[in-house]
């Protein structure tokens, strides 16, 4: 024994001078290194559950093919077991690549399988108990059953060339692998199913959001059409009837007027008839419901056009990133805006009205400013009176209705002096972006 052999013997604790002991040690060391390498490759294959069960099984078979230097490695699940798992079988060949008769996209169909491989595949698929239930170790062949929850559900087999003898350590590697491969396949299938369900939920959520946007647009259009119809009715029932009555009275008086006054009466009759014609055209236009779906800002501009006469300039601005507003919040804000614009047009003697819609995290604000002659303190008194039920002091319910709409949504309404010189009506309402409905 050389000095190097003596040093090695002292390191590994082998003190015998028999050369066979050292050879046995070297053989055991080589097998141990081979097993460690194999387990590393197998573990890397088993953790690829996110790549799908098909790719997982391919990686496992390739790892075994490399470890055993095998000519053939076979995986198969018995019919009636793990029915949701796929692939049902897979074959890895040293020279032929990945093979399968069906159900595997990355494999090609076998054309010339050895008889022993084909027979083993048939036996495993049929669930032959003799083949399924017992491990098998031969010089150039190894087979282990695959178990899941205490039941044998398939098998794993390999055939090696003449120069590669199978030993018990190889059987241990396959048994460890067989105990994990079914679980890894099921987990991989569950992961893919979870991803599919998550994608379905994402698609449904996107569809729900689209539907919500469409519904909000329909609601805005319906509200604007309601305002148009209301104004058309008011024009027909009040203004129209007044103009018509005035015209009739003028015509009745026409016969008693002579000279220069008759010409003025004729002109007045002509003007009332023209006014009635214009009113009919305006009513027809207002009743035309062909209004496209609008954004909330466009709807506010539409309300300005409806409520403000031509001599009052109305404008709408948006601050912050516009978001889809829950329907109940949207409805309340548009109603408040419509009432405010109506008040500014009828009572404020204004020449300019601005509407500002603001979006911020968790809240939305609406401000209507005018440059009219209104008194904020007087309006606050009217609001308090009507809110308390003192209808003698606060006959109009418009301000109280506006305040109630904001309060019902957890918000608030304020009346104060506008920078334009008139009155500012400001509303702030909280809303949850994720709870649109």
pLDDT (tens digit per residue) in 300-332: 888 888 788 888 999 999 998 888 778 788 888
E strands, 187-294, are: none
pLDDT of 3 higher than 50 = no
Instruction: Find, among 43, 50, 1, the residue nearest to 21 by Cα.
Output: 1
Backbone angles phi, psi at 357, to 5 degrees: -110, 120
Cis peptide before 358 (omega within 30 of 0): no
Q: Which of 2-16, 25-39, 202-216, 247-261 shows the lowest mean pLDDT across its residues?
A: 2-16
- Mean pLDDT of all residues in the chain? 77
Q: Are strands 313-319 and 352-360 parallel, antiparallel or unpaired?
A: parallel
Residue 166 CA to its chain's centroid (Å): 54
**Residues recorded for the chain:** 437
CA–CA dist 335, 337 (Å, integer): 5
CA–CA dist 365, 318 (Å, integer): 10
Comparing 191 with 299, which gets the higher pLDDT?
299
Of all residues in the chain, what percent carry a pLDDT higher than 70? 67
Task: Give tens-digit pLDDT for 353-371.
Answer: 999 999 988 889 999 999 9
DSSP state of 128: -
Q: What is the DSSP string of 251-272?
A: HHHHTT--THHHHHHHHHHHHH
**pLDDT score at 64:** 84
State the CB neighbour count (10 A cutoff) for residue 291: 15
Residue 316 CA to its chain's centroid (Å): 31
Q: What is the mean pLDDT of residues 407-415?
A: 93
Task: Please give the structure tokens belonging to residue 403.
Answer: 């305040």
State the CB neighbour count (10 A cutoff) for residue 300: 28
The CATH number that domain 295-437 falls under is: 3.30.565.10
Comparing 272 with 342, which gets the higher pLDDT?
342
Distances (CA, A) of 96 to 75, 127, 371: 16, 26, 87
Task: Please give the structure tokens belonging to residue 217.
Answer: 């647009």
Q: The pTM is what?
A: 0.44
The CATH number that domain 19-194 falls under is: 3.30.450.40
How large is the angle between the packed helices 327-347 and 398-408, nearest 10 degrees?
160
Q: Which of 33-42, 343-352, 391-400 shows the lowest mean pLDDT across its residues?
A: 33-42
Find all residues with CB under 8 Å of 237, minimum gap 6, and list them: none
Residue 275 CA to its chain's centroid (Å): 54
Backbone angles phi, psi at 95, to 5 degrees: -110, -10
Task: Give tens-digit pLDDT for 120-135.
Answer: 999 988 988 776 778 8
Distances (CA, A) of 229 to 6, 79, 207, 281, 290: 109, 70, 32, 14, 12
Domain boundaries, the chain: 19-194, 295-437
Dmax (CA) for the chain in angstroms is 153
Sheet containing 363-370: give its strands across.
313-319, 352-360, 363-370, 423-430, 412-417
Instruction: Find, among 392, 372, 370, the residue nearest to 382 by Cα.
Output: 392
Beta bridge partners of 152: 147
């Amino acid at each position: 024994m050389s000095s190097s052999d003596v040093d090695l013997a002292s390191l590994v604790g082998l003190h015998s001078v028999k050369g066979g002991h050292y050879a046995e040690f070297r053989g055991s060391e080589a097998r141990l290194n081979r097993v460690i390498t194999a387990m590393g490759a197998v573990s890397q294959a088993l953790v690829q559950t996110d790549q799908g069960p098909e790719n997982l099984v391919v990686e496992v078979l390739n790892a075994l093919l490399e470890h055993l230097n095998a000519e053939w490695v076979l995986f198969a699940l018995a019919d009636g077991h793990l029915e949701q798992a796929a692939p049902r079988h897979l074959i890895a060949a040293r020279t032929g690549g990945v093979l399968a008769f069906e159900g595997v996209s990355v494999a090609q169909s076998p054309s010339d399988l050895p008889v022993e491989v084909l027979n083993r595949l048939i036996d495993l698929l049929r669930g032959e108990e003799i083949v399924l239930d017992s491990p098998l170790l031969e010089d150039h062949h190894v087979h282990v059953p695959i178990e899941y929850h205490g039941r044998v559900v398939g098998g794993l087999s390999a055939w090696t060339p003449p120069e590669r003898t199978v030993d018990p350590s190889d059987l241990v590697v396959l048994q460890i692998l067989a105990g994990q491969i079914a679980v890894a396949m099921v987990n991989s299938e569950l992961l893919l199913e979870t991803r599919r369900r998550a994608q379905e939920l994402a698609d449904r959520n996107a569809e729900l959001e689209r539907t919500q946007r469409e519904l909000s647009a329909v609601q805005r259009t319906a509200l604007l059409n309601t305002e148009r119809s209301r104004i058309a009715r008011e024009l027909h029932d009040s203004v129209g009837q007044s103009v018509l009555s005035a015209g009739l009275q003028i015509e009745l008086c026409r016969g008693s007027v002579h000279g220069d006054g008759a010409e003025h009466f004729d002109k007045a009759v002509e003007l009332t008839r023209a006014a009635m014609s214009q009113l009919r055209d305006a009513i027809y236009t207002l009743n035309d419901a062909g209004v496209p779906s609008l954004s909330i800002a466009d709807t506010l501009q539409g309300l300005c056009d409806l409520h403000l006469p031509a001599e009052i300039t109305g404008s709408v601005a948006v601050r912050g990133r516009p978001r889809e507003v829950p329907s109940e919040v949207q409805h309340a804000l548009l109603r408040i805006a419509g009432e405010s614009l109506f008040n500014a047009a009828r009572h404020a003697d204004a020449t300019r009205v601005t509407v500002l819609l603001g979006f911020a995290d968790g809240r939305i604000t609406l401000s209507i400013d005018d440059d009219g002659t209104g008194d904020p303190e007087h309006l606050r008194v009217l609001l308090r009176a009507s809110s308390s039920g003192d209808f003698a002091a606060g006959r109009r319910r418009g301000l109280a209705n506006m305040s109630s709409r904001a309060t019902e949504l957890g918000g608030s309404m304020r009346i104060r002096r506008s920078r334009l010189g008139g009155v500012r009506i400001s509303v702030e309402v909280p809303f949850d972006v994720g709870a649109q409905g």
